[in-house]
């Protein structure tokens, strides 16, 4: 696997929300020595900008309000802890909150938002091997990625995990509400017009409903080593 060090490659980890994509993608990136990019966090950051600048009216986005903010946005990931830095400010905690979660799908469906995010995501890969998680990475951002994984799990299982995650962070929410938010996001992400959440034809499905994190990682690594071995 020495060749992994010299040639740049892309690993796409797509799938439904709250499926553990970021946990898996982070572990993979660390083991491979690649850069981890959380593309969902980028859309969350745009939702945060929209909310902070009152660009969200009821449930819809005022494009004239949001466009100039998106054009000039700077998004970086702090190497030490992967925190998202939005225009110089660490907003990691805020982008994980309830407000952002309930508006992010609406914000992420707009072409001008997606174009800008995709361009930034592709630019990150010019200088680094990347492991990127999201919903359109294998289909749109990196259609030629060496490895494409697609994660899925039962909505109830995902809601359970998200429920405990929020509780741990002191952001507790009723289980039913968490489940409803997950179902709504599945629906919105799969049905948005531009770059909907979809498995790429050449992606490998991992259903982790009954897998531990360790089992999932082991399974993913087996796939990755075969695919990268073939490609590099
Ligand atoms: O993975 P996540 O829950 O942090 O993603 C937040 C939202 O952003 C989710 O509703 C789907 C959307 N998203 C997207 O539209 N495109 C991506 N590449 C990643 C996430």
pTM of the model as a whole: 0.89
Has residue 1 been placed in a domain?
no
Note the pLDDT tens digit of each residue in 111-137.
999 999 999 999 999 999 999 999 999
On the CB side of 156, how many CA atoms lie within 13 Å of its CA? 1
Q: Which of 196, 192, 166, 160 is closest to 179 using CA atoms?
A: 160
Average pLDDT estimate for 168-185: 92
Q: Is 40 part of any domain?
A: yes
**Which band of pLDDT confidence, cut at 50, 70 and 90, is reported for residue 2?**
very low
Residue 216 CA to residue 213 CA, distance in Å, equals 5
Residue 3 in domain: no
Query: Is 203 within a domain?
Result: yes
* pLDDT (mean) for 91-97: 95
4 inside domain = no
Write out the two tokens for 134.
């999201």
Pairing of strands 60-61, 89-90: unpaired
pLDDT averaged over every residue in the chain: 93
Ligand 1 binding residues, C-beta < 6 A: 17, 39-41, 43-44, 104-105, 108, 134-137, 185, 189
**Where residue 5 falls among pLDDT bands split at 50, 70, 90?**
low
What CATH number does the domain containing 101 carry? 3.40.50.300
113 belongs to a structural domain: yes
Please state the rounded mean pLDDT for residues 83-101.
95
Strand partners for 84: 77
- The length of the chain in residues reads 232
Give the C-alpha separation, 100 to 44, whole Å: 6
Is 223 contained in some domain? yes
- Structural domain harbouring 184: 10-231
Which atom of ligand 1 is closest in space to residue 22's alpha carbon? 1
Atom of ligand 1 nearest to the CA of 21: 1
Pocket test for ligand 1, best of 100, 152, 189 (most atoms within 8 A of CB): 189
Q: Count of domains in the chain?
A: 1
Q: Is the pLDDT of residue 1 over 70?
A: no
Mean pLDDT of 195-214: 95
Residue 26 lies in a domain: yes
């Amino acid at each position: 696997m020495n060749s992994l060090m010299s040639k740049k490659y892309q690993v796409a980890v797509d799938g439904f929300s709250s499926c553990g994509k970021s946990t898996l993608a982070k572990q993979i990136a660390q083991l491979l020595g690649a850069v981890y990019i959380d593309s969902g966090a980028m859309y969350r950051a745009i939702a945060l900008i929209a909310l902070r600048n009152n660009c969200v009216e009821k449930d819809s986005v005022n494009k004239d309000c949001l466009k100039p903010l998106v054009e000039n946005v700077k998004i970086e990931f702090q190497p030490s802890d992967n925190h998202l830095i939005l225009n110089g400010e660490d907003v990691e905690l805020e982008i994980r909150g309830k407000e952002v979660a309930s508006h992010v799908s609406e914000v992420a469906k707009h072409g001008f938002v997606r174009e800008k995010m995709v361009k930034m995501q592709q630019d990150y890969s010019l200088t680094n091997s990347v492991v990127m998680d999201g919903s359109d990475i294998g289909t749109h951002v990196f259609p030629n990625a060496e490895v494409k994984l697609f994660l899925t799990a039962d909505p109830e299982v995902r809601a359970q995990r998200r429920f405990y995650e929020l509780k741990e962070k002191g952001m507790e929410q009723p289980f039913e509400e968490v489940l409803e938010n997950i179902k709504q996001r599945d629906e919105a992400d799969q049905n948005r017009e531009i770059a909907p959440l979809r498995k790429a034809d050449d992606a490998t499905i991992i259903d982790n409903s009954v897998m531990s994190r360790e089992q999932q990682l082991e399974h993913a690594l087996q796939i990755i080593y075969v695919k990268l071995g073939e490609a590099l």
